[in-house]
Amino acid sequence: MSLRNILSPVFYIPGLLLMFTGCTKFIELDPPPTALVNETVFLDSSSANAAVLGMYTRMMQSNFSVFNGGLALYGSLLSDEIKATGNQTNTREFYNHAVLPANTQVRNMWLELYQQIYQANAILEGLENAVTLSPALQQRLKGEACLMRSLCYFQLVQLFGPVPLVRVTDYRLNRLAERADTVRIYDQMVEDATRAATYLPDNFAVYQGQRTRPNKYAAKALLAQLYLYGKDWSGAFAAASEVIDASSLFNLAANPANAFALNGPEAIWQLQPVLTGNNTGVALAFVQSANVPVYGSLQPGLWNLFEEDDLRRVNWTYTYSFNGNTYHIPYKYKFRLQSAGIEYLSLFRLAEIFLIRAEALAHLGDLEGSHGDLSHIRTRAGLSTPEITDIDAMLAAIARERQLELFTENGYRWMDLKRTGQANTVLQGLKPGAWKTTAVLLPIPITEINNNPKLYQNEGY
C-alpha cells in the first residue's frame, strides 16, 4: 500500500487569504514580499475565533464534501452497505471499485482535507504570535486546530494510505512534499489529538452549551479511534473510558430515533448545517420515497442482518417499492431540507465509543467488561445480549454490532473491513467481477501527480 501526495498552489498564501475572507482579519507586520503565514498574527480575539469557526463552516459548505455526506455515501458504496442504483459516474466508479485518478470527487476530497490542514497550520502559526489574545483563548483555539489536523490526517490515511505530512504553511516546503511513512503520520495524529485533549475545555459551557465545537472529549473520542485502528488496546480502552465516564455530559439516547438530535446527550461533537435549503448531505444522499433511489439503497445482506424487533431497523430505515423493486433506505438523518433546531450531523457519538471500548476489552481478555459495553448498545436497540464465553465469538459479535449500529456513518464500515483484514473476503464475495485487492486505497488525484513530480500513483491505478 504505497502513497505519496502533495499540495498544489491553492495552498500558497493567497489561498489562505481567500479561505479567511469574510471570516477573519489579519494584520501584517511589514513583512518582506516573500513573507509567510507565521509572520502574520491575528488582529484580535474575534478574528482568531472566526478563523477557527471557518474550519467548521468549510466542513459543511458543500453536499458530499468529506464530512458532509461524502464519507457516508462513498464509504458505503465502497463497502457492503449500499447497492448503487443510480447512473452517476462518480457513484458507479466507487461502487464498482473502478475509481479513476481523474474522478472529481476523489480530487475534491483530497483538496478539502489538505485545505483544512493548511488552515489548521495557519491558525497554529498565527496563534504563536497573537500577543493580544488571552492565554486561555489561545490554548483553546490551538486545541481546536490540533484536533482538526489530526482528524483530517486520519481520513487521508484511510482513503489514500501514506500521504505528505504537512505541518507548516511554507509552500516552498509543501509543494514538493513526499509521502510520509504511516507510522510517522500516526504518531503525529496521536500527538495532535493528545495536545487537543489537554488544551480543550472539559465541558460545553464556553460554547453556550452547544456541541458544535469540540471539547476535550471529542479529542478523547478521536484518540480512542486512533488507538483502535492502531491496535493499541490499552490506549483505546483508556481514551474511551474517559468519554464514557463523563456521564454528566454524555449518555446514550433512550431511543435510537433521537441519537442524532441537536445537542442530544449522545452527541460528542456535531456539525451545524450551513447550506441554504439543505440540512445534511447524508439525508440528501439517501432520503426519498419514490422512483429509483438516486444513489443507492441498503444491501440485502445488511438489511437481513437486523433482528426483526431491532429498534434501529425500525427507526433508522424505511422501505418502499417502485416498478416492482423493493428499496431499503437509510434513515438515520431524516431531514433533507433545512430543519433548524432538530438535527445536526454527528462526527462522534457515544454509541461508537462503547463499541470501541468493548472491542478493546475483548482483546485485553476482559469478556465480562466487553459484554457489558456491548449490552449497552443492544439494550438501547431493544435486544438482549446472549452470554459469550469466547474471545473470537465476542469480537465477531462486536463486529456485527458495529455493522448494525454504525452503518452509513463516516465510512466506518469501509474502514472496519480494511483494518480487520476482511475487505477481500467480504467484497470478493459481494462483487466478484469488480473487486480487486488494490481497491483498498483510492487513487491519488491525477492533478496532484501532475503538479508534484515526487508523487506516485497507488498500486492498481
Least confident of 40-49, 168-177, 427-436, 448-457: 40-49
SS3 220: helix
Confidence class for position 340, pLDDT limits 50, 70, 90: low
**CB-based burial label for 39 (10 Å; 0-12, 13-18, 19+):** middle
pLDDT computed for residue 325 by the predictor: 96
* b/e sequence 349-377, b meaning 16+ C-beta within 10 Å: bbbbbbbbbbbbbbbeebbebbbebbebb
Whether the per-residue pLDDT at 20 is higher than 80: the answer is: no
Is pLDDT at 295 greater than 70 in this prediction?
A: yes
Copy the grid coordinates of residue 139. Answer: 490554548
The 3-state DSSP class for residue 457 equals coil
8 A C-beta contact, residue 111 and residue 178: no
How confident is the model over 298-322, as pLDDT tens digits? 999 999 999 999 999 999 999 999 9
Select the more confidently predicted residue: 158 or 340: 158
Would you say residue 9 has pLDDT above 90? no
In the CATH hierarchy, which top-level class contains the domain 9-276+342-427+441-451? mainly alpha
User: For the ranges 17-31, 97-111, 386-400, which has the lowest average pLDDT?
Assistant: 17-31
Contacts of 30 (CB under 8 A, 6+ apart): none
At residue 33, does pLDDT exceed 60?
Answer: no
Q: What is the pLDDT of residues 106-134, one digit of tens each?
A: 999 999 999 999 999 999 999 988 888 99
Using the predicted structure, report yes or no on whether residue 24 has a pLDDT greater than 60: no
Residue spans of the domains in the chain: they are 9-276+342-427+441-451
- Nine-digit cell string for 281: 448531505
Q: pLDDT: is 333 or 43 the higher one?
A: 333
* Residue 439 DSSP symbol: G
Of residues 17 and 337, more confidence is placed in 337
Query: What pLDDT is attached to residue 18?
Result: 36
Cα separation of 331 and 78, whole Å? 19
Q: How confident is the model at residue 261 (pLDDT cuts 50, 70, 90)?
A: very high
Q: What is the pLDDT, as a whole number, of residue 198?
A: 98
pLDDT score at 90: 83
Strand partners, 155: none
pLDDT single digits (tens) 65-96: 999 999 999 999 999 999 999 888 888 999 99
Q: Which three cell numbers stand for residue 344?
A: 445536526
What pLDDT was estimated at residue 41? 58
Q: Look at the block and give the residue holding cell 471529542.
A: 218
User: Which residues are 255's β-sheet partners?
Assistant: none
Look over the chain and give the mean of its residue pLDDT values, rounded to a whole number: 90
Secondary structure element (H or E) that encloses residue 298, with its range: strand 296-298
For cell 489537554, name the residue. Answer: 198
Question: Could you tell me the CA-to-CA distances from 102 to 10, 270, 283, 444 in Å, in that order?
Answer: 18, 32, 27, 9
Euclidean distance between CA atoms 329 and 307, whole angstroms: 17
Q: Which three cell numbers stand for residue 203?
A: 465541558
What is the CB-side half-sphere exposure of residue 457 using CA atoms within 13 A? 14
Give every CB contact of residue 89 below 8 A, 6+ residues apart in sequence: none
When pLDDT is averaged across residues 364-393 and rounded to a whole number, the result is: 97
Q: Tell me: the pLDDT tens digits for 177-202?
A: 999 999 999 999 999 999 999 999 99
As a whole number, mean pLDDT of residues 392-420 equals: 98
Residue 84 host element (H or E): strand 82-84
pLDDT tens digits along 275-292: 988 899 999 999 999 999
Residue 397 grid cell = 459479535
Give me the pLDDT at residue 174, please.
Answer: 85
Task: Convert the pLDDT of each residue in 54-69 to its tens digit.
Answer: 999 999 999 999 999 9
Q: In Å, what is the CA distance from 20 to each residue of 104, 105, 168, 243, 398?
A: 24, 24, 17, 33, 43
What global pTM score does this model have?
0.91
Residue with grid cell 443507492, as numbered in its chain: 296
Kindly list the distances between the CA atom of residue 426 and the CA atoms of 71, 241, 289, 430, in Å, as whole numbers in the listed order.
20, 31, 29, 6
Gap between the Cα atoms of 409 and 302, Å rounded: 14
**pLDDT tier at 34 (50, 70, 90 boundaries)?**
very low
Read off the DSSP letter of residue 42: E
* Max CA separation in the chain (angstroms): 70
pLDDT, tens only, 146-176 = 999 999 999 999 999 999 999 999 888 888 8
What pLDDT is recorded for position 130?
87
pLDDT at 162: 97
What local confidence, expressed as pLDDT, does residue 449 receive?
95
Give the percent of the chain with pLDDT over 90: 84
Q: Give the angle 324-409-418 at the CA atoms, nearest 5°.
A: 100
- pLDDT score of 51 more than 80: yes
Q: Is 417 helix (H, G, I), strand (E, B) or coil?
A: helix
Residue 32 clears pLDDT 80, i.e. is over it: no
pLDDT recorded at residue 88: 86
Cell numbers representing residue 353 in the block: 465509543
Percent pLDDT > 70 in the chain is 90
pLDDT, mean of residues 204-218: 97
Q: What is the pLDDT of residue 341?
A: 63
